[in-house]
Amino acid sequence: MDKMAGPQVAQAQKWWGGGPRPTLGNDAGAYDEAVRAARAGELDADAAAGQLIDRMTDRELLGLLDGDSPRRLMPIIPLLHGRRPFVAGAVPRLGIPGIRFSDGTRGVVIGDSTAFPAAMARAATWDPLLEERVGQVIGMETRARGANYSASICVNLLRHPAWGRAQECYGEDPVLTGRMGAALTRGVRVHVMACVKHFALNSMENERFEVDVSVDEHALHEVYLPHFKAVIDAGADSVMSAYNKVRGQYMDVNRALLTEVLRDEWGFTGFVTSDWVFGTHDAVLSLEAGMDIEMPLRLLRARALPGALRSGVLDRATVERSARRILSTSVRHAATLEAAKPSESAIASPAHRALARQVAAESIVLLKNEHIGAAPLLPLAPTLTHLAVIGRLATHANLGDNGSSRVSPPFTISPLQGLREALPGVRFTTASGQNVSAAAAAAAAADTAILIVGLDQHDEGESVVTGGVEVGVLGRAFDAGPLRRMFVALAHVASHFVHGGDRTTLDLHASDVRLIRAVTAANPRTVVVLIGGSTILTQGWDESVPALLLAWYGGMEGGRALASVLTGTAEPGGRLPFVLPTNAAQLPPFDPAAKAVTYDNSWGQRRLDAAGHTAAFPFGFGLGYTTIEHRLLEHSFDETGGSAQVMVRNTGERAGSSVVQLYAADISLRRPVAQLLGFAKMTLQAGEEKSIRVSLDAGPTLQRDPVTRQWSPRAGEWALLAAQHSPASWAGAVPLHRAAGIDG
Ligand code: BGC
């Protein structure tokens, strides 16, 4: 039976401190009063949540545990997703606004907003401070759109670059991913609650609704979870559970991960939401396992929870536990808000676009830059008079996939537009590349050719419609019988027509390779620009290419950023957040149709190291327009971490940036496997020398005992090296475990 409670009940609640007894006042203002009292330090957020709960009817309480939108909205979710926040658990009677959800990883998906470079591009900046600023803008624009919750932090590890959503994550390394995810979280939280996703082991797309991931305790805790922990430690308010199974259990009902790891071991006190629609498999079990909110509609829980609570199948304490997590997190966050609600006019403002441009320039990775005659091909010579810009990707907006993280900015600057703006006195010839001879002729007639090739939303991305979903969530009629069979059959057919999904190859399209060959043959001064969200193999065609860049999905200002790097007004500041192998066979096997997969500790650069393969371009690699030297001066390190002092010198003739990278490995192994422990980005004037302190993360050198859950140093002869990318040789490395002192 619904319980009606009034202010007198609230007054009966416990409060803390010895001052006057706090009360939340009248119903309509109860939530605002809770926030005010929490901000003033009169009531802690948990106590405030308790008081709100005591005023709620059962119906209102259960309403906190799923989305507020009715089931019939399901077919138009993609439409609504870009128009307004999805709300869960609003209780207007008490002024509770509810969780007001917006995606996504490269900007706000509601309305026209700033489109930043994809997260993978931002990982390539290796600059957490810049990422924090991106987070602040995403948070501010999310709030300006009326949301209070941003599911923009995606820290699934890039186990294999064929993952369709690779562009949404921060690459293959746990330390880099953790630091970037933590930075985004800090920034986003300035304005809205931050949600980290998809917990856990969600790094395949086509079978994400079904795949069962096996993983041993070591790989789980030492490889696939540390960066989630880093983001939780940075204050994430919420976690989104993944669609997939881990060790035979769907993640929404996976008590081992949602409660024993997330809460008991890590101390997470926020709330967990499901991934959308098909991410909740059992209304009661998921709640008991620790998944607090079924998103985004009234589906399984709306149907099952009222009866379960009445009959006693569902414990009231379980409901209240989740309600308390949701309300206390919301009150606590709202109480910390300092800045006033931004107006919509701040969205995609000149300052936000300038940040998007800066990030895009900092993300571009220069892979090759050979001399042609006396000078390297890049930056473009100031004497340039005629430029050929070639390729179907040169002229259109290419912001990334069309899945849940799709952002619609007010405009997008294409590579061609960016170059035209930057080089007003230069003559341009363009060719789409469809006609290879015409493209070659255009290149031959120009001083220099810029060839833009790679991927777009047709090649990779989130797969929104797919087979394998649990359609029973749509209602009892879908549990079995003809409706169910029809829906499943339709979903399977639709999945063949949907863009995105996992990649079937890491190679360029054959037509792009033909174009590269023809254009480089026609004009040796050819710069190839790759667009994509992760690894594109270069073997087999890059020998003929003197200058090669990876420019990602660069966001709305990507064309300007690319032009600034090509012309040399900006440094190519990017470093690879994953390894580029010479051959896909050097990476773990990847079967996009797999229903079961094992994740282990052999992936990425580490897998190449262990097998003795030399990368085409190692993890962390990227050239600048100057030359830099690093020298490790001293360091201290124990099992809690440490720091290193590195002297960095710009030995070239122009200003430039460098990412100081600290790697450790057990060098007693025949083939040491490099672990990134820390990094720092810095800028130096020509000839300048500066020393920088880099903090070192002990995580990659530790192992966790599955029984005691204690962490201890891994055996071996560990050594430390300051490098500009993952090292091929450990010559000059110093012993890692030591108190502060002078190295070598
Ligand atoms: C995605 C999530 C996203 C959600 C809401 C899901 O399909 O996996 O990343 O936040 O949709 O758009």
Query: What is the set of active-site residues?
Result: 275
Q: What is the pLDDT of residues 372-418, one digit of tens each?
A: 999 999 999 999 999 999 999 999 899 999 999 999 999 999 999 99
b vs e for 45-57, b when ≥16 Cβ sit within 10 Å of the residue's Cβ?
bbbbbbbbbbbbe
pLDDT tens digits, residue range 168-190?
A: 999 999 999 999 999 999 999 99
Closest-CA residue, ligand 1 atom 9, reads 404
Buried b (16+ CB within 10 A) or exposed e, 321-359: ebbbbbbbbbbbbbbebeeeebeeeebbeeebbebbbbb
Confidence label for 514 from pLDDT (cuts 50, 70 and 90) = very high
The strand pairing partners of 659, in sequence order, are 681
Q: What's the gap in Å between 519 CA and the centre of ligand 1?
A: 40
The finding on whether 276 has its CB within 6 A of some atom of ligand 1 is yes
pLDDT (mean) for 346-364: 98
pLDDT at 22: 63
Amino acid identity of residue 575, one-letter, is R
End-to-end CA distance of the chain: 75
Look at residue 54 and tell me whether its pLDDT is greater than 70: yes
Which pLDDT score, from 0 to 100, does residue 430 have?
98
Q: Judge whether residue 16 has pLDDT over 60.
A: no
pLDDT of residue 11: 35
> Which residues fall within 8 angstroms of residue 631, CB to CB, at 6 or more apart?
646, 647, 648, 649, 722
- 275 close to 240: Cβ distance less than 8 angstroms: yes
Mean pLDDT on 118-144: 98
Residue 404 CA, ligand 1 centroid: distance in Å: 5
Residue nearest to ligand 1 atom 8, measured at CA: 275
pLDDT of residue 308: 98
- Take atom 4 of ligand 1 and give the residue whose Cα is closest: 276
Q: How confident is the model at residue 742 (pLDDT cuts 50, 70, 90)?
A: very low
The model carries a pTM of: 0.95
To test the pocket of ligand 1, the residue of 73, 276, 405, 469 to mutate (highest count of ligand atoms within 8 Å of its CB) is 276
The answer, yes or no, to whether the previous bond of 160 is cis (omega within 30 of 0) is no
* pLDDT score for 25: 87
Give the up-direction half-sphere exposure of residue 574: CA atoms within 13 A in the CB hemisphere.
31
Q: How far apart are CA 356 and CA 736, in angstroms?
A: 38
pLDDT over 90 at 545, yes or no: yes
604: left (phi over 0), alpha (psi -120 to 50) or beta: left
205 lines ligand 1 (CB under 6 A): no
Q: What is the structure's pLDDT at 496?
A: 60
Check residue 478 and give its pLDDT: 76
Task: Report the alpha-carbon distance of residue 506 to residue 382 in Å, rounded.
Answer: 35
Q: Which one of 138, 404, 469 would you pick to mutate in the ligand 1 pocket, going by the greatest count of ligand atoms within 8 A of its CB?
A: 404
Quote the distance between the C-alpha of residue 64 and its chain's center.
27
pLDDT confidence tier of residue 277, bands split at 50, 70 and 90? very high
CA of 275 from ligand 1 middle (Å) equals 6
pLDDT digits (tens, 9 = 90+) for 566-614: 999 999 999 999 999 999 999 999 999 999 999 999 999 999 999 999 9
pLDDT category, 135, cuts 50, 70, 90? very high
Q: Is 325 in the pocket of ligand 1 (CB under 6 A)?
A: no
Q: Which of 84, 86, 103 to mutate to test the pocket of ligand 1 (most atoms within 8 A of CB)?
A: 103
pLDDT recorded at residue 487 = 72
pLDDT of residue 492: 65
Residues 162, 165, 701, 217: is their CA dihedral positive or negative?
Answer: negative
Q: Which two tokens stand for residue 391?
A: 């390729």
User: What residues does 3 pair with on adjacent strands?
Assistant: none
Name the percent of the chain lying above pLDDT 70.
Answer: 94
In ligand 1, which atom is closest to the CA atom of 202?
8
Predicted pLDDT of residue 419: 98
Report the distance separating Cα 509 and Cα 507, nearest Å.
6
CB of 151 shorter than 6 A to ligand 1: yes
User: Using alpha carbons only, how large is the chain's radius of gyration in Å?
Assistant: 27
168 CB within 6 A, ligand 1:
no
Closest CA to 512 of 520, 502, 500, 523: 520
Query: Is the C-beta atom of 275 inside 6 A of ligand 1?
Result: yes
pLDDT band at 466 (very low <50, low <70, confident <90, very high): low
- Report the chain's mean pLDDT, rounded to a whole number: 94
Residue 495 has pLDDT above 70, yes or no: no
Residue 261 pLDDT > 80, yes or no?
Answer: yes
Q: Give yes or no for residue 231 having a pLDDT over 80.
A: yes
Q: What is the mean pLDDT of residues 340-367?
A: 97
